[in-house]
Amino acid sequence: MIGMKKFFLLLSVLLGSIITTAQDGFSDILAAGVEAGERYSNSYMAPAGEALSFNLSSGWYDDARVLKPGKFKIQVKAHGTFAPDSKKNFLLDPAEYEAIIQDSYDNTNNPPANIEVSFGDGSTAPRSIATALGENAMAQQLIIRSREATSGILLQEDVINLPNGLGNEGLDLVPTAFLQAGVGLGAGLELKARLVPKITFEEAETSLYGGVGLQWEFTKLLQPSDDSTLPIAASFLAGYTRLDASYDFEDGVVVDGANQSIETQISSLNLSAIVSTNYKVLNFYGGLNYNRGTTQTDLLGTYTFASNTVIFPIAATVEDPISVDTDINGFLGTAGVKLTLGAFNINADYTFGEYSTATASVFFRI
């Protein structure tokens, strides 16, 4: 049991890093205004939401065969989802943000002013910046200046530190792990469930991580009797997984406030057609999967601009300012191998797609 507790503590660190890596400077982007903050947040967070959606859809099966009626198995599964390089960075154009911030400024009651946006080194050329899955080679900043419209006198200058990504933590994949159980229902059906109990590590918390699935081995209909066997089995599976997680962070450098947190809710549906060999010890399996998922990430709490900023030259407060929604769907292929040694089984597979996922598990049958 101690080993299992350590296992899930490790999970909490890994999963929490996906959410918490955005904390360092993430809320401070609000100093550029809610509109610019939401634009940046979408570019920064969307790839992580996509990767987690594909991750949670994976690993539902390790065989086309289902358990016999009344038989039970419990598995410990680990996933690692690999993002394409194109999802680890995005192109940030200061001119684009300058236009967004200028429009936001013009819609305030502030004195007329011209907005200037550049990187910390003064460059205004578009630059590749880390998403939540990537890494900045060096610290990146945005400088936002407002100048009096007529005289050009500098009115305000804000320095915003842009957050790094998972790559800065030495992670090249999005990891998850969980328990999965199955029970044979008869009529070629197996009911599956996956669960991780509530986990808290420092300010990170997973309040819900679970799913339910149903697999139907339709080749059972082709067997002349229960005692006969076919060399190949085939089945259909439907599985649904949901993850709720949050991270409470302290006030930013530019933005103070209360009850500040990032909350993420991910729902993922998997539909699979599966085939496998039907031998006693070593088997191979594969499947064609359709995945559909949604991710909603909200920046919640009260954000108070106590000191002057370009958009908020006097004290101002905003509530729950940013929401990022991500939708994914697509077909993926899975290939895997399974070794059975009595009641003990191990398996490993790889799911191929835009976001590919490696899965491994050990389990016992009762």
Question: Using CA atoms, how far apart are residues 249 and 45, in angstroms rounded to an integer?
Answer: 17
> Residue 316 carries which DSSP code?
E
What is the DSSP pairing of strand 113-119 with strand 141-148? antiparallel
Percent of the chain with pLDDT over 70: 82
Q: Cα–chain-centroid distance for residue 333?
A: 20
How far does Cα 124 stand from its chain's mean position?
31
Question: pTM for the full model?
Answer: 0.84
The CA distance from 250 to 133, in Å, is: 22
- In the predicted model, is pLDDT for residue 338 greater than 80? yes
Q: Which residue has the higher pLDDT, 344 or 336?
A: 336
Percent of the chain with pLDDT over 90: 45
Are 242 and 57 contacting, i.e. CB atoms less than 8 angstroms apart?
A: no
Report if residue 130 sits inside a domain. Answer: no
pLDDT tens for each residue of 155-195:
888 888 888 888 777 778 888 888 899 999 999 999 999 98
Residue numbers of the domain that contains 67: 2-86+165-365
Q: Does residue 244 form part of some domain?
A: yes
Q: What is the DSSP string of 47-81?
A: HHHHHHHHHHHS-S-S-SS-PPTT-EEEEEEEEEE
For the chain, the domain total comes to 1
Q: What is the pLDDT of residues 224-236, one digit of tens each?
A: 665 557 789 999 9
User: How confident is the prediction for the chain on average, in pLDDT?
Assistant: 83
Say if 203 falls within a structural domain.
Answer: yes
The DSSP annotation for 10-31 comes to HHHHHHHHHHHTTHHHHGGGGG
Q: What is the pLDDT of residue 28?
A: 66
Q: Is 299 a residue whose pLDDT tops 90?
A: no
Alpha helices in the chain (DSSP H): 2-20, 23-26, 34-57, 94-106
| 119 domain-assigned | no
- 116: in domain: no
Backbone φ/ψ region at 31: left (φ over 0), alpha (ψ -120 to 50), beta: alpha
pLDDT digits (tens, 9 = 90+) for 64-122: 999 999 999 999 998 899 999 999 999 999 999 999 999 988 887 778 899 999 999 99
